[in-house]
Structure 1
């Protein structure tokens, strides 16, 4: 169609190279540094080629976020399929490997509605899947004995994990080992209780 800007193929090696460079700049230099020119320089490409694949800077950010979201989805899929999905989910929550990128995206999202909506949508989808996991593994006793809902438990674990990961990025470690031990001991007790036969009347 005349006048419509062409976008490069989704599976292009050049496109992946641009996203790798953009992720590196966002992570190492901050979201404000991730201009088209800076991303192109890190990728070793001309700025015009970046624009060929991503007409705007926000398009670059959206693509980087969506690629990261796909990776998060794959990690959750692996946790759901594993023998110990609850502890695997806890390890995902406390993973520090993407801390800096996450912090930068949250900061950028506070100024850009398009990114903010995408972050919120993916977070809601992840929370629903996490709650489904809690319900499947822990069952009704999570509410009867622990006065919790699957959604609430998923949020609490995610919140604690995120706090640990964010503080670790700042070099804060006070209380971290204790908090991890408390959560893991509680999960062990809950999972052990779930494996025991229900008392007969």
Structure 2
């Protein structure tokens, strides 16, 4: 069934709003994105924002969760393609190498985590992403007979998040990969 031109325009406007939100979160900070600012960036009137979404918070949440899901999916692909646990750690670290802690995606993650402390809906969606990712890592580690795969997956996921957060504050330690490989050996 073909969609109508109006439906196609509506979907395109919705995507522009989500893209604008994903840009504005790291640029201005979660709480500084208003309906007016979002509408201006997307090239629509403020009433259009609320036609497509119940609130600015809903746009920000969907934009952040979508972007974070894409990053985790890319990490997942690299991780699951690894043949040994040490290679998997290297793959996880390589997947985040492009993020220096001050880039837009790192800032989006940081802003979303912070906003989730005050927004139960966002918190629940982020928790679901984290739990799903850790479950996939746990399953992979179990297949590769890593002891305590669930605890190891939790530490790996937290370590990667922590490394990204710390990168924005200063240089990292070149021995991180060695330490994380030791965790899975």
TM-score after normalising by structure 2: 0.79
Match of 2:92 among 89, 103, 110: 89
Q: Which runs of 5+ in 1 are unaligned?
A: 1-7, 144-148, 191-201
TM superposition shift of 1:113: 0.9
SS in 1 for 2:44: coil
The structural deviation recorded for 1:11 is 8.1
- 1:151-181 deviation digits (Å, cap 9, x = unpaired): 11112222222222111112x115x212234
User: Match of 2:27?
Assistant: 28
SS in 2 for 1:26: helix
Match of 1:109 in 2: 116
CA contact (8 A) 2:80 2:140 kept: no
Report whether the alignment pairs 1:71 with 2:70. Answer: yes
| Residues 33-48 of structure 1 aligned to structure 2 (within 5 Å) | 33-48=32-47
What CA distance in whole angstroms lies between the structure 1 residues aligned with 2:10 and 2:63? 14
- Rg larger in 1 or in 2? 1
The aligned runs of 1:56-67 (5 Å cut-off) are: 56-67=55-66
Q: Structure 1 residues 73, 9: CA separation in 2 closer, same or farther (over 3 Å shift)? A: farther
The alignment of Structure 1 onto Structure 2 pairs a total of residues equal to 171
Q: How many Å apart are 1:128 and its aligned residue? A: 0.7
1:179 and 2:182 correspond: no
| Structure 1: distance between partners of 2:164 and 2:65 | 21
> Is the contact between residue 68 and residue 109 of structure 2 (CA under 8 Å) also seen in structure 1?
no
Contact 1:25 1:39 in 2 (8 A): yes
Contact 2:25 2:33 in 1 (8 A): yes
Shift of 1:55: 1.9
